[in-house]
Chain A
């Protein structure tokens, strides 16, 4: 270590109160940049994950429920619901041109029975035609779902014995689906036979307004359009032909949601930017004041033979020490606080936050923090260049 570096280290440790305040301010700025970046990243990932999970190009639901936005409630905020339309419509749609894959789903809602077991959305799917559930199974699933078995969303509470009690039926959870950060995480998927049993139980318990069989009705139809065939054209044809239902394209379904996410992202960016700029100004003021107090020290160093350049280097080393410690501590604390606040933000804002992986989360946050510190360093360099350049004689005369 050369003399400048030794001096920088000594200055940093000697004026410990100043070092602590600057470090605290820098850690706060690191937290702002980290949180802002990871929140915005999480919002966009949540939307992407939702698009992938929907799987279908076109979704067909009862017209009345489409107007009430019931399906969006199930999708985004985990509100439970059930609605049905005649299965003949599904059969007729299946014969239409332009369809690559088509499958029907059947919805039912459970009732919260225990402390940690809140209402879940039950979705019955046809394993023979389904193309929505199977692709994104997290665990190995290489057989048909047996009667009484379920696939659970990542947020569904599964007791240690793996048995879910719904409408007095014991159901075994055999797989957990990947997290989407949306209402689909509170969903339980069952086959049609299990669903018939649950439906019968819900009617027997007096908890279901509809007395219908899954053989006669469906809740929604999911359609994958053939390559090259216009989704818009097929959507229009279905809406024209069947007045009881509404066909909605995947991108239209999530348009409202995407708008909400965009608004949330913009608000986060503005708030973070404003607070970051204010923090930078506070840091600038504090740093300038502390440099002002050290004018005599710099004057003495100049008398001893230090050049302006070497004093800049000394101050830069001090800042680098403080910023390095702040970077490490800031990254550590921000990642912990960010993960803690994630669930709170999801619940309050009703938007999902998704991260591809923990390392991606840290990497994005780390890059944002590093850029923030670099910008701060550039901004502060003006202060110390100005202070160090002051005339030696005017400073020493003040001392005298």
Chain B
């Protein structure tokens, strides 16, 4: 069972770490007088991570391969959105050494790109099923 679900399990772990990280070691600057773009980037990332985790859990439960392919395609689209959130969809600080540039943005983009690779691999491996 693990062999067939290894990609979904790996994605759940990655997104869970990212979700936890957004509140802890990868969190952007705390909200002060101004609410900056990086705060909204973190919020969107958390929401998208939660969605991806739920979709992966559905993937684990579902036995129908066509449904799984559909779910994986959905995860692919949502992951691309997650990767584009910092800087492209929502601008973050211009100062390069602020937390959003040092921790938050690299974490989101790295995890999103790893999840993207895993999803493409899953679709490739199960394309004939």
A binds B: yes
CB within 8 Å of B: which residues of A? 16-17, 20, 23-24, 27, 115-118, 155, 157-158, 329, 333, 336-337, 340-341, 343-344, 346-347
Nearest A-chain residue to B116, judged by Cβ:
A333
Give chain B residues whose Cβ lies under 8 Å from the Cβ of A329.
117
B33 touches A115 (CB 8 A): yes
B117 touches A115 (CB 8 A): no
> Is B63 close to A, CB under 8 A?
no
A344 touches B94 (CB 8 A): no
Give chain B residues whose Cβ lies under 8 Å from the Cβ of A337.
109-110, 113
A116 touches B94 (CB 8 A): yes
B29 contact from A23, A115, A158, A343, Cβ within 8 A:
A115
Give chain B residues whose Cβ lies under 8 Å from the Cβ of A158.
94
Report the bound CA distance from A329 to B125 in whole Å: 17
Give chain B residues whose Cβ lies under 8 Å from the Cβ of A24.
117, 121
CB within 8 Å of A: which residues of B? 29, 32-34, 36, 93-98, 101-103, 105-106, 109-110, 113, 117, 121, 124-125, 127
Give 6 CB contacts A-B under 8 Å: A16-B125, A23-B121, A24-B121, A115-B36, A341-B106, A343-B106
Question: In whole Å, how far is A380's beta carbon from the nearest beta carbon of chain B?
Answer: 21
Report the bound CA distance from A17 to B128 in whole Å: 12
In order of increasing CB-CB distance, the 7 nearest A-B pairs are A340-B106, A157-B95, A20-B121, A16-B125, A116-B95, A347-B102, A116-B93
Report the bound CA distance from A344 to B96 in whole Å: 10
Give chain B residues whose Cβ lies under 8 Å from the Cβ of A346.
97
Of A158, A340, A344, chain B has the most CB atoms within 10 Å of the CB of A340
Report the bound CA distance from A184 to B87 in whole Å: 25
Give chain A residues whose Cβ lies under 8 Å from the Cβ of B103.
344
Give chain B residues whose Cβ lies under 8 Å from the Cβ of A27.
117
Of B32, B36, B95, chain A has the most CB atoms within 10 Å of the CB of B95
A343 touches B96 (CB 8 A): yes
Secondary structure class of chain A's binding surface, majority of residues: helix
B94 touches A343 (CB 8 A): no
Question: In whole Å, how far is A398's beta carbon from the nearest beta carbon of chain B?
Answer: 25
Interface contact tally, CB-CB below 8 A = 57
Given known contacts A333-B117, A340-B106, A340-B109, is B95 in contact with A16 (CB within 8 Å)? no
B127 touches A16 (CB 8 A): yes
Report the bound CA distance from A17 to B121 in whole Å: 8
Question: In whole Å, how far is A290's beta carbon from the nearest beta carbon of chain B?
Answer: 15
Nearest B-chain residue to A340, judged by Cβ:
B106
Question: In whole Å, how far is A111's beta carbon from the nearest beta carbon of chain B?
Answer: 16
Given known contacts A24-B117, A341-B106, is B32 in contact with A115 (CB within 8 Å)? yes
Give chain A residues whose Cβ lies under 8 Å from the Cβ of B36.
115-116
Nearest B-chain residue to A158, judged by Cβ:
B94
Given known contacts A116-B94, A157-B95, is B121 in contact with A343 (CB within 8 Å)? no
Given known contacts A115-B29, A115-B33, is B113 in contact with A336 (CB within 8 Å)? yes
Of A23, A336, A337, A343, chain B has the most CB atoms within 10 Å of the CB of A343
Give chain A residues whose Cβ lies under 8 Å from the Cβ of B34.
115
B127 touches A343 (CB 8 A): no
Report the bound CA distance from A281 to B95 in whole Å: 42
A347 touches B125 (CB 8 A): no
Report the bound CA distance from A347 to B105 in whole Å: 14
Nearest B-chain residue to A348, judged by Cβ:
B102
Report the bound CA distance from A155 to B93 in whole Å: 11
Report the bound CA distance from A157 to B100 in whole Å: 14
Nearest B-chain residue to A179, judged by Cβ:
B96
Give chain B residues whose Cβ lies under 8 Å from the Cβ of A116.
36, 93-95, 98
B94 contact from A23, A157, A341, Cβ within 8 A:
A157
Nearest A-chain residue to B106, judged by Cβ:
A340
Report the bound CA distance from A346 to B103 in whole Å: 12
Question: In whole Å, how far is A346's beta carbon from the nearest beta carbon of chain B?
Answer: 8
A17 touches B97 (CB 8 A): no
B121 touches A336 (CB 8 A): no
A17 touches B106 (CB 8 A): no
Nearest A-chain residue to B34, judged by Cβ:
A115
A347 contact from B97, B109, B110, B117, Cβ within 8 A:
B97
Give chain A residues whose Cβ lies under 8 Å from the Cβ of B98.
116
Nearest A-chain residue to B93, judged by Cβ:
A116
Given known contacts A20-B125, A155-B95, A337-B110, is B101 in contact with A343 (CB within 8 Å)? yes
Report the bound CA distance from A344 to B95 in whole Å: 13
Report the bound CA distance from A98 to B96 in whole Å: 41
